[in-house]
Structure 1
Amino acid sequence: MTIPVVSRRSFQLGAAALALSILATGCGAPGGSGDNGQVTLRFAWWGNEYLNGQTDKVIAAFEASHPNIKIKAEPGEWSSYWDKLATKTAANDAPDVIQMDQKYIAEYGGRGALMDLSKQDGIDTSKLDKEALASGQYSGAQYGLSTGQNAYVIMANTKVFEAAGIPVPDDKAWTWKKFMDTAAKLSAASDGKTYGAAYGSNEADLIIWLRQHGENLYSADGKLGFEAGTAASFWERLKEQRDSKASPPANVATEDGGASLEQSLFGTNRVGMAWWWTNQLGSLQATTGSNIKMLRAPSVDGAAASNGMYYKPTMFWSASSRSKHPKEAAEFINYLTNSPEAGAILMTDRGVPTNSDIVSSITSSLKPADTTVVGFLKDIAPDIKDAPPVPPVGAGSVQNVIKRYTDEVLYDRQTPQAAAEAFKKEVQGMLDSARK
């Protein structure tokens, strides 16, 4: 079971910013109290049918052990979730507990819409991974607790490798040159029916590339943290993948970008290597019918310690700053994060839990793919350094901008250098506008 991937997401940032900017005009607060001291909390999340059913079970378990608190479920779909949340927040009608994405921690927290969880006595963070904890912080406040961890990796379809008679590379020592050469050989072995590698134009792709060169997409103080020349080298590599036929032609890649997993090149065993998040392993294996092997990112020098990989929170548990019941909201978030009972229900569908005790308690019950993911995340731990800074206010739609400039380069409408300079200027403008 997987959650929607970041690369397929979109967000109407302007609507959210406008809605959040008028927070101060609201009155009243969400939530409500019944007779006999009973409290009702509204809980919003995005997901699919499976995730909704799982969440309903954890709500029922919480209510059974907390008879004074009732949870009103407000499930949604990613495509409409953020517009609805922005509208409700502007009307001072935000849910008490909110499933949040890292892209918008600063957007909502920085505008005063989220509760600082570090000030709530009912939340225990002592067993949580420190980097995961930091990923939900902005301007000194804890605006979210990670639901679980992922890592962005190359998924290698062993069925494609076996058909080509090419061994899967050693991911502990491979370079970008080895990656490119391997992908080109996979493409050549199939006479154009199969491609060696997808491009990788996700925000995480650029982040990893920048980190390998000692830079970051954003700095800790909310500014841009990279040079245009480094971004240009990212697009130069993607162009080289196209020119060497390691990856599909631009028009094929564009068509593939709009396909479902079941209809995609990777899903139909026509791409040997592609970038995905670790929690997607199970669905990739089920769709392809192949053994999928997770690989670390290649690096410039072949050293795993310099590959720029990082743990990313799958999503967060956050709370509205206007909740009438901050104590109970914190109690529910603490339950979702730290309760073994909740862990046994939620498992790894929102990422591998950041609470080490929860991981230990559920390991024996995990599906094979999930067990593999837990082991992989543990294996790469020695090479994982600090997490990238939290995206600042105004950065919510940067991923769409990256994809647009990737198309500009792959269709030869702009050179990598021109695309990098235009990208940096555009993103700077987005951040500047958000500060006004």
Structure 2
Amino acid sequence: MGVLSRRGVLGAMAGLTGLGLVGCGRSGTAGPGGRPVRFAWWGNDYLNRQTQAVIDLFTSRHPDIPVAPEPGEWGSYWDKLATMTAANDAPDVINMDQKYIAEYGERGALMNLREAAGLELSTIDEQALAAGSYTDQLFGISTGQNAYTVVANPRLFADAGLDLPDDETWTWDDYREAATKIGKDSGGKIIGTAYGINEAYLIIWLRQRGEQLYTADGGLGYRPETLIDFFAELYGLMDAGAGPAAERYVEEADASLEQSAFGTNRAAMTWYWTNQLGSLEGTSGSDLVQLRPPSRTGRAADNGLYYKPSMFWSLSARTERRDQAITFLNFLINDPDAAKTLLVDRGAPINRATRPAVEQALRPVDLESLRFLDGLAGEIKDAPPVPPVGSSDVQNVLKRYVSDVFFTRLSPEQAADQFTTEVQGMLDAG
């Protein structure tokens, strides 16, 4: 028998729920409060230590509510969570990603936090709450927000005799010309720009044209010709020598930050989330600058940027420790000392009540990133619709078609048509 896919496991959830099957739950060190609140998240060693520190802080104040940590790694986290959820054995407090909010929420696996008695939401940014909502129910509280931006290495610009671009006026032509000059002047030793291809990159491209990747009712929200232009523009960047050739693109897509061209000072620009500036500077050993994306018009207000939740805290709809789980979640999102412990590694604060405590504890580089994010507020008008059920693998599909265009296995027209057909099929299958 083959391994059941994550989607297949999720599909089994409805049947388990309908039959009323209840898992026996997991045992843990109960302590004085009975069975512990199970708390699952993904992260690296640094995030694991940070998260354990906030657990310790909580239990020092609430010795009657023990918390059982269940850390994981991104690659295996979702298959494990899907299996546990299908078996009615989900953790009580769940680290959730926007890709899966709709899938888990629609299938009844997540609590509607609007109905979580005692959970204080009055000081949390409404746009951040909307990002965790689906079908008018709140399934996740954002851990913090980010924006997807260009990061530049000023030293490599200076080596090419270029000033850093004015990110309030630069266009895609300016972006391509600067990247091409850097690549050619270095004889190919320096990449002008890494592509940074993901859903956010595509969403920004579409929003600059008044379109969206997804519609509010769960469909696709772009015109075919816009997607053709997207693939053609990327191929043009590669063909001009502004970014890596096809083979190197594939290598970069799989490289860790420590091995990447930008992380090793061999690329002048890349695309990253704002909260990762500190990691980028620490890895590269260089002073870096964040820039707004280029626009079609040369106006910052038209650059398509949006605030994206880094991730979410959610609660299992079938938790047997509802009150205790709500108390812990309330601590995570509203306690100033918890905010000072978690800082901005999971995104910029979305709670105005805890933000001052976070700012006082930040390193200069993280405070710089936070100020940059603040400066975007006047340009960001709205947020894209929440990704619908069936869309969780679209990012990998997009990268595959970009690769096909780079290797000339498909034309931009063919890639756009096949991408749309494949993604529509994923959404229809749900």
Same fold (TM over 0.5): yes
Amino acid aligned to 1:355: N
Kept in 2: contact 1:29–1:323 (CA 8 A): no
Which of 15, 18, 21 is residue 22 of structure 1 equivalent to? 15
Kept in 1: contact 2:32–2:63 (CA 8 A): no
1:194 aligns with 2:184: no
Change (3 A) 1:95 1:242: same
Matches of 1:147 and 1:30 in 2, distance apart?
27
Amino acid aligned to 1:77: E
Amino acid aligned to 1:14: R
Matches of 2:13 and 2:203 in 1, distance apart?
28
Which of 325, 331, 336 is residue 321 of structure 2 equivalent to? 325
Matches of 1:378 and 1:231 in 2, distance apart?
30
Matches of 1:58 and 1:243 in 2, distance apart?
49
Matches of 2:9 and 2:140 in 1, distance apart?
18
Which of 360, 363, 367 is residue 364 of structure 1 equivalent to? 360
1:417: how far off? 1.4
1:283: how far off? 1.2
Amino acid aligned to 2:7: G
What RMSD, in angstroms, separates the aligned Cα atoms of the two structures?
1.7
Which of 134, 144, 155 is residue 148 of structure 1 equivalent to? 144
Paired position in structure 2 for 1:203: 199
1:124: how far off? 1.1
Task: Please report the TM-score for the alignment, with normalisation by the length of structure 2.
Answer: 0.95
Paired position in structure 1 for 2:92: 96
Paired position in structure 2 for 1:387: 383
Paired position in structure 1 for 2:235: 239
Change (3 A) 1:36 1:288: closer
1:352: how far off? 1.1
Matches of 2:110 and 2:26 in 1, distance apart?
15
Cα deviation, 1:367-391, whole Å, max 9, x if unaligned, reads 1111011101101110012111111
Aligned residue for 1:294, secondary structure, equals strand
Task: Please report the TM-score for the alignment, with normalisation by the length of structure 1.
Answer: 0.94
Paired position in structure 1 for 2:109: 113
Kept in 2: contact 1:184–1:246 (CA 8 A): yes
Matches of 2:51 and 2:80 in 1, distance apart?
20
1:413: how far off? 1.1
1:240: how far off? 0.8
Which of 248, 252, 268 is residue 252 of structure 1 equivalent to? 248
1:18-417 superposed matches below 5 A: 18-24=11-17, 25=19, 26-28=21-23, 30=25, 38=34, 40-417=36-413
1:266: how far off? 0.9
Cα deviation, 1:94-137, whole Å, max 9, x if unaligned, reads 00000000000001011110000110121111111111110000
1:35: how far off? 8.7
Kept in 1: contact 2:42–2:73 (CA 8 A): yes
Kept in 2: contact 1:30–1:324 (CA 8 A): no
1:191: how far off? 1.1
Matches of 1:292 and 1:403 in 2, distance apart?
26
User: Structure 1: where are the runs of 5+ without partners?
Assistant: 1-10
Which of 416, 421, 429 is residue 420 of structure 1 equivalent to? 416
Equivalent pairs counted in the alignment come to 424
Aligned residue for 1:166, secondary structure, equals coil
Matches of 2:168 and 2:59 in 1, distance apart?
46
Matches of 2:396 and 2:387 in 1, distance apart?
14
Cα deviation, 1:26-57, whole Å, max 9, x if unaligned, reads 32475789697645211000111111111111
Aligned residue for 1:43, secondary structure, equals strand
Matches of 1:28 and 1:241 in 2, distance apart?
53
1:269: how far off? 1.1
Aligned residue for 1:263, secondary structure, equals coil
Change (3 A) 1:299 1:333: same
Kept in 2: contact 1:239–1:409 (CA 8 A): yes
Amino acid aligned to 1:425: T
1:155: how far off? 0.5
Amino acid aligned to 1:232: I
The structure showing larger relative contact order (alpha-carbon pairs under 8 Å, at least 6 residues apart) is 1
Kept in 2: contact 1:30–1:322 (CA 8 A): no
Kept in 2: contact 1:183–1:195 (CA 8 A): yes
- Higher mean C-alpha displacement, 30-39 vs 67-76: 30-39
Kept in 2: contact 1:101–1:316 (CA 8 A): yes
Matches of 2:261 and 2:12 in 1, distance apart?
39
Amino acid aligned to 2:94: I
Matches of 1:167 and 1:377 in 2, distance apart?
22
Paired position in structure 2 for 1:3: none
Matches of 1:12 and 1:336 in 2, distance apart?
32
Aligned residue for 2:192, secondary structure, equals strand
